[in-house]
Amino acid sequence: MKKALITGITGQDGSYLAELLLGEGYQVHGIVRRVALEDPQHRMWRIRHLLEDIHLHSASLESYPSLFNVVRQVQPAECYHLAAQSFVSYSFEDEFSTLNTNINGTHYMLSAIKEAAPRCRFYFAASSEMFGKAAEVPQNEQTPFHPRSSYGISKVAGFHLTRNYREAYGLHASCGILYNHESPRRGFEFVTRKISHQLARIKLGLDSQLRLGNLEAKRDWGHAADYVRAMWLMLQQEQPDDYVISTGSCHTVREFCDIAFSHAGLHYEDYVVVDERFFRPAEVDVLMGDCSKAQNVMGWNYDRSFTDLVQEMVDSDLRFVADQCRAGIGFGSQHDQSH
């Protein structure tokens, strides 16, 4: 049985990827932080339904020996490195920990694979944030990088590290340059989930406002479940390479709000308040990807509509908040809008 190792298995992408790999017949191993193992209720909600079927190992992105030991012990055929400090806003608050965790974590994983499992195929979760103040729209694999945050800089470093391990040591190492990808499992700090969750609280009478930053930012939003398939496809290719994964169209945060609130029978203008605290010191105004290479080389396609994605998230959060209310936990500050 083929073994796959996922860092960041408790996150949105990790959970969808674990489901996909189990479906493909893999033995799935995941790296989690010790705190997650100690608090599965809060930290493993996305993979609770998989816990019987997967193997979890405690290790930290900050500790090379801990990662090396897991790689040596598991001997994976494929490794998906998804773990990172992935919230762009937070990277402005603490550049140092974002750079340390993201760059060193990727470097440690690459080095551990090279030393302990050199035939293992490696996937690095790069990001469209690497394009930042992009020189062209849409962006493709040739577009120059111009990151606008330490998060973006850390992903550029991880991208170059991965490519260098491929070129210098012959590792089958690929980078997925993924654009924003969402789902009902998205973290609450990201704008899409913040909108769908707070909107559900408003709809159910628990709150009256949604405080947001830049409503004019444009993003190319796809569905995470389709994007993890692209990760897997990259490691099934004979040659390692780098691919843009995107929908090819973009929308503003304002449009997301409009569709979300309309779906719940509300007008976003009545509830959304623009709050300076949520603006970023350096914003990425527009990201839109050209995924022709992924389509042509790997046969990856995306055919969901933006409206369906927004509505799925809203419906899910309406159920989620209603369930919380029934359980008597909906009335406190579930979301303090601090993100």
| Residue 179 binds to ligand GDD (criterion: CB under 6 A) | yes
Residue 138: HSE in the Cβ half-sphere, 13 Å Cα cutoff: 17
User: Is residue 30 within 8 Å of 18, Cβ to Cβ?
Assistant: yes
Q: Which stretch binds ligand GDD (CB under 6 A): 27-35, 103-111, 156-164, 278-286?
A: 278-286
At closest approach, how far in Å is the CB of 193 from ligand GDD?
8
Nearer to ligand GDD by C-beta: 84 or 120?
84
Q: Check residue 213 for interaction with ligand GDD (CB under 6 A).
A: yes
**What distance in Å separates the CA atoms of residue 60 and residue 65, rounded to the nearest whole number?**
9
Q: Counting contacts by CB under 6 A, is residue 127 touching ligand GDD?
A: yes
The reply to whether 154 sits near ligand GDD by the rule CB under 6 A is no
Determine contact, residues 19/93, Cβ cutoff 8 Å: no
153 touches ligand GDD by CB under 6 A: no
Of 51 and 282, the one with the shorter C-beta distance to ligand GDD is 282
- Nearest approach, Cβ of 264 to ligand GDD (angstroms)? 18
The one catalytic residue among 19, 78, 129, 255: 129
For residue 28, the cross-strand partners are 4
- The rounded distance, in Å, linking the Cα atoms of 48 and 15 is 9
- d(CA 35, CA 47) in angstroms, rounded, equals 15
Q: Give me the DSSP letters along 248-292.
A: S--EEHHHHHHHHHHHTT--GGGTEEE-GGGS-SS---B--B--H
- CA–CA dist 90, 97 (Å, integer): 10
Determine whether 151 is an active site residue: yes
Does residue 127 have an active-site annotation?
yes
* Phi, psi (degrees; rounded to nearest 5) at 126: -80, -170
User: Is residue 86 at the binding interface for ligand GDD, with CB under 6 A as the rule?
Assistant: yes
Q: b/e per residue, 41-77, with b = 16+ CB within 10 A?
A: eeebebbeebeeebebbebbbeebebbbebbeebebb
Alpha carbons within 13 A on the beta-carbon side of 313: 33
Site for ligand GDD in 282-311 (CB under 6 A): 283-284, 287
Q: How far is the CB of 228 from ligand GDD (least distance, A)?
A: 14
Residue 78 annotated as catalytic: no
Residue 281 preceded by cis peptide, ω within 30:
no
Q: Does 85 bind ligand GDD (CB under 6 A)?
A: no
Question: Minimum Å distance from CB 178 to ligand GDD?
Answer: 6
Query: For residue 252, what are the CA distances in angstroms to 69, 217, 220?
Result: 44, 5, 9
Identified catalytic residue from 15, 66, 91, 127? 127
Per-residue x/- mask for ligand GDD, residues 227 to 266, rule CB under 6 A? --------------------------x-------------
- Does residue 29 bind ligand GDD (CB under 6 A)? no
From 104, 214, 262, 334, residue interacting with ligand GDD (rule: CB under 6 A):
214
The active-site residue out of 16, 26, 80, 151 is: 151
Task: Give the residue, chosen from 64, 92, 169, 190, that forms a contact with ligand GDD under the rule CB under 6 A.
Answer: 190
Closest among 224, 229, 237, 220 to 301, alpha carbons compared = 229
Using CB under 6 A, list all residues that contact ligand GDD.
Answer: 86, 88-89, 127-129, 179-180, 189-192, 194, 212-214, 217, 219, 253, 278, 280, 283-284, 287, 339
- Tell me the catalytic residues: 127, 129, 151
